[in-house]
Structure 1
Amino acid sequence: MTLIDLGELRDGPDGEAPLPRSPRAVGRPLRVALVLALLVATLAGAAPTPERVSVVVPARVGSEAFLDGGRFYVVEPAEGEPGGTVEVRAYALPARTPADGRAPAPLWRARLLAPGRFWQVQTGPGVVLFSVTGDQSLGQTIALDPATGRERWRQAGYHWADVAGTLLMQDAAALRSVDPASGRALWSVPTPPEGVRFGVRDGLVERFVLVTADGRAEVRDPRSGDLLHAADLRLDGQPSFGQPTVIDDLLLVARAGVVTAYGLDGLRPRWAARVPLVEHVVDCGELLCAAGQTGGFRALDPTTGALRWTAEGWLGVLSGRDGRLLALAPGSTGERFSVLDAATGRQVADLGTWQLMPWQDGGRLLAVRPAASGGGLVVGELDVVAGRSRVVDLLRDASGDCRGGTEAVLCRLRTGEYGVWRFEG
């Protein structure tokens, strides 16, 4: 096993000081639930170019709204019901703007007893899956019939539904495969809290890795739960396992200033690299980025662990596409997005200050920021490959709490209602 010493390299761009936090890993489905803080910024007004249709949907205080699978959903406290009861309404994305300004009729309504906050909706195999926070460490998942809104089942834990139709549920004690129609467990394996890492490629969970605090790692098949490989990965009797990450065919462990890469086939060590103050490793397109505890990162070759380049002053990398990286950095009025050349780490474009909407891997990177005058929000698309931000629309009545999809944007209005804008052209 080769050990590479990366030393204390300091040739980051612009000589910016390190920052006290670092990003989450790229490509992890759990990330589609986290939202960056709304940033204060200015922008000269820009006229919208695409044609659009729009609707306004009533909503009460405490409501949440979501876009997924060609629909949008509004979840709000149910009137005249005990506390913790919510009404869920499903709507089709609008085909045209109502001439009379009326709100669209819902496809269905459902009332559920669900204490906690709804924070994600995902269309699964034959069901619509709602993630709800709660007293349990990972909350609960409620599955509704997509045609009627009837509750199919609910279980403790967080769900993962991949493009092959595999539905996995994780709670504080176990990971299990679930039949989407009935919620019946197909197989189950005990897991420690926060002890599961998924290997995802093109929306498909290929393998998952269970890790324990004492250093045991297991690679398992997501279709059957069968054990494929197991190993004790402790180094020199260290009691702590460190920070594990699965990227492509590697299990990467960061501990005591060293990043160690293990092949998922056999869990044999491939290389180790010294990275001072390393906290965790994230996906950087064709490279790996080892993030430091005080900000900045070092780009490593995934085959050998050799250092390609280093950068200070960045909060982290959020996406990698076609040899370009979307990086986040501090700005005078908030956080700024830039495009880096993945081969050299050189900044090739400054995209400005935005609030990035939640997104899925490979999807559009939509973002908003306050309009310079007249109120409202500017909607932009961050094009990492082209190295530019494109203004999609100017929403004068929007106030925030936005979510974006392939063809639509949903935002809270100043009145408290929700606006949905579908773009054509």
Structure 2
Amino acid sequence: MTVIDLGEVRDEPEREAPPPRPPRAVGSPLRVALALAFLLATVAAAAPVSARVALVVPARLGAEAFPHGDRLYVVEPAEGEPQGTVEVRAYALPERAPAEAGPPDPLWRTRLVAAGRFWHVQTGPGTVLFSITGDQDDGQTVALDDGTGRERWRQPGHPWSDPTGILLMQTGGAQGGTVRSVDPASGRALWSVPTPPEAATYTLRGGRVERIVLAPATGRVEVRDPRSGALVHAADLGLGEASGHAVVAHDLLLVVRPPQGVVTAYGLDGLRRRWEARVPMVEHVNECGELLCAPGGNRFVALDPATGAQRWTGERWFGVLATRGDRLLAVAPGPLGDRLGVLDAATGRQVADLGSWQLLPWYPDERLLTVRPTVAGGGLVVAELDVAAGRAGVLDVLREASGNCRSRADTVVCRLRTGELGVWRYPG
């Protein structure tokens, strides 16, 4: 297989280049942080990567690449087939640099008819699940056999698979939709419940789905068991009268009322009111470590989830993207795009300014990998954000890369200037 020779890795100069245009968001069935691709950080100290693995994978115009686990899936328009037909190929990601030159051989390849863009990959027991957008609906999910690439089933909606083997499929729309539990092997529905137009929210612990929360704009809120669909709690909280919307965070149902600047918290167990807080200019609420963050304007307020008491205010920040220990990764506007800083979770004090980068989509507890254009000579710099230490450490300089990057765990995939796909692995 061809190995990309990127030359010696050096520290980048301190002055910054304008960040690249971010790639299209890689969506999430939960429509959460996996859709955020912000621009971040200046380079801190760099060191040569001793265990980097690099290879080139053939790809044509319009190809999409999805690293997942120990595999790379490439989806591209199929040659000689009607429009809407794609070829899907699965490649094994090597643990060490290939010994032989030439393109890698796929583990399998298959052709599918699918109208829409492939945007996300998940895996279930023996299956790989591809989410496909739709022009007029929620799109669909296609399940392929992980060993052969054979299509097992397809159906409307977005999937969510948890480590216990539960596979939930959700559809939506202006008239509402459904959330249903599906057998991963056959696609057979095990149970199904209707959802409001606002869709359903899943509460997670360690990646495991603990509850399904249905919070319509008007009517009663429902909490359901994800293994049976059974109703566990229900209450009419007067959401229609509140002129607001509901958010789930830290085992709370939070009713956010922007016109009144009020956030009201209800416990998910019993849906009883816990507290109410005045938060001027509040727009939304989300988890930020052990706290709740309520963004509004060019600032956000950190709240205690137990009492609603205000802990501190981040005056220069839009909000928080990730948490590592007692440090928060916060985003703010900057002259060359959005910038990132590291805040102390206890006080909100800024402890580092990381500058401007393009943060690649990540999952909770995964490495935070970023790219930005090199100052001179073309290509991209790859860095890993160490939020706890307040620095961005350079991993590599990809001279042949042109952009359109994705990452997962320790793998980065970018389009090359030649049109092919470059794959780089950075074992931790």
- Corresponding residue SS for 1:276: coil
Identical positions, percent: 66
- Quote the Cα distance in structure 2 between the aligned partners of 1:78 and 1:51: 35
Compared CA separation, residues 158 and 28, structure 1 to 2 (3 A): closer
TM alignment of 1:363-374, pairs within 5 A: 363-374=366-377
Compared CA separation, residues 84 and 265, structure 1 to 2 (3 A): same
Which residues of structure 2 form unaligned runs of 5+? Answer: 1-24
TM-score normalised by L of structure 1: 0.89
Find the counterpart in structure 2 of residue 248 from structure 1. Answer: 250
Are residue 302 (structure 1) and residue 301 (structure 2) matched? no
- Quote the Cα distance in structure 2 between the aligned partners of 1:28 and 1:48: 37
Compared CA separation, residues 28 and 199, structure 1 to 2 (3 A): farther
Find the counterpart in structure 1 of residue 8 from structure 2. Answer: none
Report the CA distance between 1:49 and its aligned residue.
2.5
TM alignment of 1:8-27, pairs within 5 A: none
Find the counterpart in structure 2 of residue 356 from structure 1. Answer: 359
Find the counterpart in structure 1 of residue 390 from structure 2. Answer: 387
Find the counterpart in structure 2 of residue 86 from structure 1. Answer: 86
- Corresponding residue SS for 1:194: coil
- Quote the Cα distance in structure 1 between the aligned partners of 2:43 and 2:315: 28
Find the counterpart in structure 1 of residue 139 from structure 2. Answer: 139
Q: 2:273 aligns with which of 269, 275, 289?
A: 269
Bigger mean CA deviation after superposition, 402-411 or 335-344: 402-411
Amino acid across the alignment from 2:125: P
Report the CA distance between 1:51 and its aligned residue.
2.4
- Quote the Cα distance in structure 2 between the aligned partners of 1:244 and 1:260: 9
- Quote the Cα distance in structure 2 between the aligned partners of 1:217 and 1:195: 12
Which residues of structure 1 form unaligned runs of 5+? Answer: 1-23
Find the counterpart in structure 1 of residue 37 from structure 2. Answer: 36
Amino acid across the alignment from 2:216: T
Compared CA separation, residues 42 and 299, structure 1 to 2 (3 A): closer
Judge conservation of contact 2:138–2:156 (CA < 8 Å) in 1.
yes
Judge conservation of contact 1:128–1:143 (CA < 8 Å) in 2.
yes
Q: 1:376 aligns with which of 376, 379, 382?
A: 379
Judge conservation of contact 1:136–1:156 (CA < 8 Å) in 2.
no
Find the counterpart in structure 2 of residue 397 from structure 1. Answer: 400
- Quote the Cα distance in structure 1 between the aligned partners of 2:105 and 2:149: 15
Which portions of structure 1, spanning 4 or more consecutive aligned residues, are displaced by more than 6 angstroms? 41-45
Are residue 64 (structure 1) and residue 64 (structure 2) matched? yes
Find the counterpart in structure 2 of residue 313 from structure 1. Answer: 316
Report the CA distance between 1:216 and its aligned residue.
1.7
How many residue pairs match? The answer is: 396
Aligned-residue Cα RMSD (Å) equals 2.1
Compared CA separation, residues 35 and 323, structure 1 to 2 (3 A): closer
Compared CA separation, residues 316 and 405, structure 1 to 2 (3 A): same
- Corresponding residue SS for 1:400: strand
Amino acid across the alignment from 2:341: S
Q: 1:197 aligns with which of 174, 187, 201?
A: 201
Report the CA distance between 1:47 and its aligned residue.
5.8
- Quote the Cα distance in structure 2 between the aligned partners of 1:43 and 1:323: 22
Compared CA separation, residues 136 and 177, structure 1 to 2 (3 A): farther
Find the counterpart in structure 1 of residue 261 from structure 2. Answer: 257
Judge conservation of contact 1:244–1:280 (CA < 8 Å) in 2.
no
Amino acid across the alignment from 1:335: D
Find the counterpart in structure 2 of residue 287 from structure 1. Answer: 291
Q: Which protein has greater RCO, CA pairs closer than 8 Å, 6+ apart?
A: 1
Find the counterpart in structure 2 of residue 168 from structure 1. Answer: 168
Report the CA distance between 1:401 and its aligned residue.
1.5
Amino acid across the alignment from 2:54: S
Bigger mean CA deviation after superposition, 45-54 or 163-172: 45-54
- Quote the Cα distance in structure 2 between the aligned partners of 1:29 and 1:384: 25
Find the counterpart in structure 2 of residue 6 from structure 1. Answer: none
